[in-house]
Amino acid sequence: MLTGKRILLVIGGGIAAYKALDLIRRLQDAGAGVRGVLTAGGAEFITPLSVASLTGDQCYTDLFSLKDEAEMGHIRLSREADVILIAPATADLMAKMAAGLAGDLASTVLLATDKPVLAAPAMNAEMWAHPATQRNLATLTGDGVIMIPPGDGQLACGEVGPGRLAEVPDIVAAVEAHFSAAKKPLTGRHVLVTAGPTHEPIDPVRYIANRSSGRQGFAIAGALARMGARVTLVAGPVALDTPPGVTRIDVETACQMADAADKALPADAAVCVAAVADWRTSDEASGKLKKSQDGLPHLNLVENPDILARLSSGGKRRPGLVVGFAAETDDVVNHAMAKRLRKGCDWIVANDVSVESGVMGGGDNTVHLVTDTGVEDWPTLPKQAVAERLAERIAGALS
């Protein structure tokens, strides 16, 4: 799969750097040629000699190398590869990339490149969840960096959570998927997908939400990625695995989802599957609300951002194709047709989510595709099949 491909491997400074040595071997086993750039932090865990011995090439470490820079080394390194792979991509390295800094060889190479960049983050779970890291993740995704999501489990620091470097076979598979995507209909396209519910806090314990499992949105994100798209998935609180090849941004509230969607632009298409709560409280309580003899607590509700309408009326930043979802309990098609006109989107995928339908949390879906040319009634299908069919329609529209 990788025969003849040239990969520049940037090794960041974290305990996961030791896996880079195995990664070099596995990439070579797949037919790739590998060069290594080792950061100062990475050199605290593995040596330049180890990298050079495995790659059969010099290990590059110094931005101010007299010999290398006389030959414009950082430019040459950034241009002679078919792809740049960062593993591990530390929080520090991600921050440098997002800010456009170029203070060492690795960050300078990444700023100077005109080639695709794949990054496999690895860090402490709290560092991964920190708003600064999530902002940097959104920026990098918007800039076109392809993220290989970290795993969830025991970390080197002893804590448990997301932040483990993806397994070496998964990283190799992501690189292979990048190259195989060149033959797929959505190659070079960026698609934004929103999925899952949003949770709107009432107090530290309670929240307003919808009954969405996120399964349909995640299936659509995965189907689009398999067709070659670069997919940014903005996900509400759900317990689902990230589809392979998809960059996931986790949010909780509608305001956070709207902000993440905006930062993910520009996009060729947006598919708004998320069941966003229509309202939130304007005065979230700082402590748990207690029962009182004075009666029920009064909640001041305000409208949440209308993400679908915002994307549909985005002016120059509007995606070329905006697809919304309409979850209805009665008169499904008519409500969906009215919603398409009201929101200004191109398509609406309507489905019956009444209790009898079993759609919310279930494995099947019966949808109606509403466009400016009419209504298509699709048969009842597994959500995965609905996703594949919709992805094919999106690919046809964008081509």
Q: Edge-to-edge, what's the strand order for the sheet holding 190-195?
A: 246-250, 230-235, 190-195, 269-272, 321-328, 347-352, 367-371, 374-377
Name the fold adopted by 190-398. Answer: Rossmann fold (3.40.50)
Instruction: Tell which CATH architecture fits domain 6-183.
Output: 3-Layer(aba) Sandwich (3.40)
**pLDDT value at position 68?**
58
Which residues are tagged catalytic?
157
pLDDT in tens, 45-65: 999 999 999 999 999 998 877
Nearest to 121 by CA among 89, 161, 75: 89
Spatial contact of 208 and 277, defined as CB atoms under 8 Å apart = yes
Q: Which residue has the tokens 């990230």?
A: 242
Token couple for 231 = 């997919």
* DSSP at 197: B
Angle of CA points 387, 228, 25, to nearest 5°: 120
Residue type, 272: C
Neighbours of 80 (CB within 10 A): 11
Q: Is 325 annotated as a binding residue?
A: yes
Q: How far is CA 148 from CA 1, 219, 222, 246, 279, in A?
A: 18, 18, 14, 8, 34
DSSP per-residue codes, 287-337: SPPPP-TT-SPP--EEEPP-HHHHHHT-GGG--SEEEEEEEESSSHHHHHH
| Span 265-274, pLDDT tens digits | 999 999 999 9
User: One fold for both 6-183 and 190-398?
Assistant: yes
d(CA 297, CA 259): 30
Distance, CA of 59 to CA of 176 (rounded, Å): 23
305 known member of a binding site: yes
How many angstroms separate the CA atoms of 344 and 372, rounded?
11
Tell me how far apart the alpha carbons of residues 322 and 318 are, in angstroms, rounded to a whole number.
8
Domain positions in the chain are 6-183, 190-398
Structure tokens at 271: 């598919």
316 annotated as belonging to a binding site for a ligand: no
Confidence of residue 72 (pLDDT cuts 50, 70, 90): low
The SS3 of residue 43 is helix
Q: 306 a known binding residue?
A: yes
pTM of the complete model beyond 0.75: no
Establish whether 278 is an annotated binding residue: yes
pLDDT by residue (tens digit) across 80-123? 999 999 999 999 999 999 999 999 999 999 999 989 999 999 99
Number of H helices, E strands in the chain: 14, 22
DSSP code of 16?
A: G
240 is in an annotated binding site: no
C-alpha dihedral sign at 27, 29, 33, 39: positive
Q: Supply the Cα-derived Rg of the chain in whole angstroms.
A: 23
Residue 154 pLDDT: 77
**In the Cβ-directed half-sphere of 232, how many Cα atoms lie within 13 Å?**
29
Tens-place pLDDT, residues 137-170: 989 988 889 999 998 877 777 777 888 999 999 9
Q: Is 184 annotated among the ligand-binding residues?
A: no
* pLDDT-based confidence at residue 237 (cuts at 50, 70, 90): very high
